Amino acid sequence: MVATRSKTQNGTQTAGEKRPAETETKKSSPSKKAKKGIQKLEVGDDGEVGLTKEQPEVQPANGHEQVEVKNGHSVEEEKEDTVEEPAEVKTKEVDESTKEKSVAPVAENEQPKHGTLEAGHIYFMYRPKVDAEEVESIDDVSKFHILLIPTSAPHDHAHFHRIISVGKKKMPDPGAKHQVIWGSMVGVGNDKSALKDAFGAYDYDTKTRGTRHQPAARPAARGHYILHSPQDTLADSPEHNRQRDYKVLLAYEITTPAAEAFGEVQKELGLALKDAVALQVKDPNADAGSNPRAASLPKEKRASYSTELQELFKNRRFIPANPPAFLSYTGTELLIISSPHELEESLGVHGDQVEKDLDEVAAVEKVGVEAALKELRMSKEDTEIEALEGAWV
């Protein structure tokens, strides 16, 4: 049996409340001029095309470090074990974070508020290591990504999508207390063909190893998601005078595979049938401080937010990803933080009704494997699908 980490109760739903604009703001640093010339297509050291190349680093197994999350508080994050690929692999790569900064094709609200902010389809994708056609465990996985396809306004009339590269090649463990994993926005746009380009297979040549093959990314799960900001009842009380908390949760419910098909693939990738993680974004102008891993992207590859979004940081290195417009910029750096609570409790006031709404939409939007692949602009000939049945292949 599979635990869903959810409860069911009756309740009602409330509308979100917008935060008034602040008068004193911090000026954002001017962004560097983009380098002129045509961008080269290269394959990174890990042989990845279409996604951000991670900086190679060798870490001791089971090490720990402190990562600042918010308002001076810290949480513990396990360091990743990484393997450096041969240096000669460098002939063609599409690095999304070096492209012109991407934003949504339509205007988005740029002030934080409470309530359900966005809804849509979610995919969890993993890519095997170079030349590893057979994947027997997460050790054979090279990259792990979250694909968000919003279907709510203002994206309901465009095939808008976001691709998040997730560190540690997995989600935080469901139910873990303050487990933090780094992520970055590596693809944003509304070009339908870009999905197949980002996740498809390709070959490339090396000087010493000849032609090498990078297998296509494989879907591990598909479902429905919401971006939800729980009501901050303490700040709303007239007895308290403090800054509002606009925490944002990425809550999801898996529809493919079905509960009975959940297997080792989903377990090793940190997925649950239902779960929620908190999302925070890093100020692109903030330095690394005492934690050099906080500056995982070079400055020229970090997001360049609008003035209105940048002013929301107010000298804080991390803030909730509220409004979701933060997620519509390539180069956005993220903290993906586990929730130790049941889904209903995580969703806050009227969480039972919010979860019920999520259940109803997920039930309506269940699709088969072929329909899921069609949304990815792929077919059974393009990738392996056994992971959607719970088995590594």
List pLDDT tens digits, range 129-153: 998 878 999 999 999 999 999 999 8
Q: Which of 97-106, 160-169, 384-393 has the highest mean pLDDT?
A: 160-169
The one-letter code for the residue type at 200 is G
Q: Distance between CA atoms of 45 and 93, rounded to whole angstroms?
A: 10
Look at residue 88 in the predicted model and tell me its pLDDT.
Answer: 35
Q: Residue 25: is its pLDDT beyond 80? A: no
Q: Residue 284: is its pLDDT beyond 80? A: yes
Kindly state the tokens that stand for 235: 């700040």
Judge contact between 227 and 146, C-beta under 8 A.
no
**CB neighbour burial string for 318-328, b if at least 16 within 10 angstroms, e if fewer:** bbbbbbbbbbb
The model's pTM:
0.74
User: Which neighbouring-strand residues pair with 76?
Assistant: 66
Model confidence band, residue 291 (pLDDT cutoffs 50, 70, 90): low
Look at residue 17 in the predicted model and tell me its pLDDT.
Answer: 47
Model confidence band, residue 12 (pLDDT cutoffs 50, 70, 90): very low
